[in-house]
Amino acid sequence: MKRYVILISGRGSNMVSLLDAGLPGICAAVISNRADAAGLAAATSRGIATAVIDHRGFASRTEFDAALAAEIEQHQPDLVLLAGFMRILGDDFVRRFEGRLLNIHPSLLPAFPGVKTHAQALAAGVRLHGCSVHFVTPALDGGPIIAQAAVPVQAGDDEASLGRRVLAEEHRLYPRVARWFLEGKVRLVAGRVQLAGEIAAGGSLHVPQID
């Protein structure tokens, strides 16, 4: 059975959605860069091993990345899932896990990379916003996109209301894509996403009905 590791920095709501999805694999560990991350308790309550690699204890990002990679490798994962992990990972780290490192980002990439994505969307006046699951590459939020889910931007939306609807889609989309990967239905080949036939035929963009 395939093994996966989840990286978090905070409450871990996407982590919980992954753990509760009945994925066809074993969650070998949940790792955080913060000892006070609420998601650690949620993982422990589900019987998942946890570890903390505090970035503040390292003199450089390179040293932190090396320690984090060493901790991950102890668990021999087939897949590493970033779930609200709020650290930029260096090129060497990303290349070490290339093809088995996924992230979920709260925007319809390539629009609105980085942080404050809901504010960016509202300021731009877009009609659709959403989330993207992508392979991680050295380019920040620039890796090949596997799947996306969109939500309508409604009149009167603020960051909080829009963010809640996007988060609900994140909780549906990320476990779906993780399942595809663990079942061997999605992979990275020569820098491009390769999907199994039934997934490619069904499409990888979910757009709810707009009233």
What CATH number is associated with residue 196? 3.40.50.170
At 196 the pLDDT is: 85
Residues 113 and 93 in one domain: no
Average pLDDT, the chain: 94
Decide if pLDDT at 31 tops 70: yes
Q: What percent of the chain has pLDDT over 70?
A: 94
Q: What distance in Å separates the CA atoms of residue 18 and residue 208, rounded to the nearest whole number?
A: 22
Residues 1 and 73 in one domain: yes
At 206 the pLDDT is: 60
Domain assignment present for residue 79? The answer is yes
Domain assignment present for residue 139? The answer is no
Domain assignment present for residue 138? The answer is no
Residues 162 and 194 in one domain: yes
Res. 100 pLDDT band, cuts 50 70 90: very high
- The residue among 97, 125, 154 that closes a domain is 97
Residues 125 and 200 in one domain: yes
Residues 81 and 116 in one domain: no
Res. 197 pLDDT band, cuts 50 70 90: confident
Told to judge if 105 belongs to the known catalytic residues of this protein, a careful annotator would answer yes
Domain count, the chain: 2
Domain that holds residue 201: 105-133+144-211
Residues 208 and 123 in one domain: yes
Domain assignment present for residue 111? The answer is yes
Res. 201 pLDDT band, cuts 50 70 90: low
Of 105, 118, 129, 134, the active-site residue reads 105
Residues 39 and 68 in one domain: yes
Chain mean position to CA 181 = 13
At 210 the pLDDT is: 40
Residues 29 and 50 in one domain: yes
Residue pLDDT, tens place only, 127-167: 999 999 999 999 999 999 999 999 999 999 999 999 999 99
Q: 196 or 96: whose pLDDT is higher?
A: 96
What does the buried/exposed string (b/e) look like for 67-99 if buried means 16 or more CB atoms within 10 Å of the residue's CB?
Answer: ebbebbeebebbbbbbbbbebebbeebbebbee
DSSP line for the chain: --EEEEEESSS-HHHHHHHTTT-SSEEEEEEES-TT-HHHHHHHHTT--EEE--GGGSSSHHHHHHHHHHHHHHT--SEEEESS--SPPPHHHHHHTTTSEEEEESSSTTSS-SS-HHHHHHHHT-SEEEEEEEE--SSTT-SPEEEEEEEEPPTT--HHHHHHHHHHHHHHHHHHHHHHHHTT-EEEETTEEEE-HHHHHH-SEE-PPP-
Residues 45 and 116 in one domain: no
Residues 90 and 167 in one domain: no
Q: What distance in Å separates the CA atoms of residue 144 and residue 1, rounded to the nearest whole number?
A: 26
* Predicted structure pTM score: 0.93
At 113 the pLDDT is: 96
Residues 73 and 113 in one domain: no
Least confidently predicted of 112-121, 140-149, 178-187, 195-204: 195-204
At 95 the pLDDT is: 96
Domain assignment present for residue 71? The answer is yes
Residues 34 and 81 in one domain: yes
Q: Is 174 exposed, middle or buried (0-12, 13-18, 19+ CB in 10 A)?
A: buried
Decide if pLDDT at 203 tops 80: no
Decide if pLDDT at 199 tops 80: no
